[in-house]
Amino acid sequence: MYTLILNGSPRRGGDTSALIGAFCREIRGQVEQIDAYGMKISPCVDCRRCAGGGGCVLNDGMQEIYEKVRMAQVLVLASPLYFSTLTGPLLSLCSRFQAQYMARQKEKRGWEQTKGGLVLLTGGGSTKDPSCAFQTARIVLREMGAGQIRQVASIGTDHLPAREDEEALRQAMAAAREFNSMFA
């Protein structure tokens, strides 16, 4: 089993990392993490080249990520809430899945949605409701081919850091175990 984690947190050892760590303690197989802040992936510029079947005009690290997404059985989107949604660099990276969306539209083929998906969110507490970010992340995961999508949030990290949020850590580990049996 191959799991790809797209991490939208700029903070090493921060709250999002704590949830990722709990998930990684349980998930079996090969796990790879891509940190959106370190990748310098350009956002989609809506040039419409992919709509004509020409693929993406931007030539950066994204081609490699497309291939990793294609290979993964489990996809994880992990992010702190920034103004109730995913962080900018992660959204920029995700905007590039538009090229695949357009290619599928042109060829009139849908996603198989055979992969497992997981959303891991953290929030300091200024917005108690993570539903906006969950919705965005689920839409992106579906575009990436995930059918079975789970979600975990640790909200209120200003008062209880995610590494001490036992319920969220437990849920992240439980999701990993579920994927282990789904893709054994």
Ligand X SMILES: Cc1cc2nc3c(=O)[nH]c(=O)nc-3n(C[C@H](O)[C@H](O)[C@H](O)COP(=O)(O)O)c2cc1C
The residues of the shown chain that bind ligand X, judged by CB under 6 A, are 9, 11, 14-16, 80-84, 122-127, 155, 157
Residue with Cβ nearer ligand X (53 or 125): 125
| Least CB distance to ligand X at residue 37 (A) | 10
In sequence order, what DSSP letters do the residues of 21-44 get, joined into one string?
Answer: HHHHHH--SEEEEEEHHHH-PPPP
| Least CB distance to ligand X at residue 101 (A) | 27
Q: Compute the distance between CA of residue 69 and CA of residue 86 in angstroms, rounded to an integer.
A: 19
| Least CB distance to ligand X at residue 92 (A) | 15
| Least CB distance to ligand X at residue 149 (A) | 21
3-state secondary structure of 81: coil
**CA 104 centroid distance within chain:** 20
Residue with Cβ nearer ligand X (65 or 165): 165
Residue with Cβ nearer ligand X (100 or 122): 122
Residue sitting closest to ligand X (CB): 14
What is the identity of the amino acid at 61? G
Tokens of 150: 């789970």
Residue with Cβ nearer ligand X (99 or 155): 155
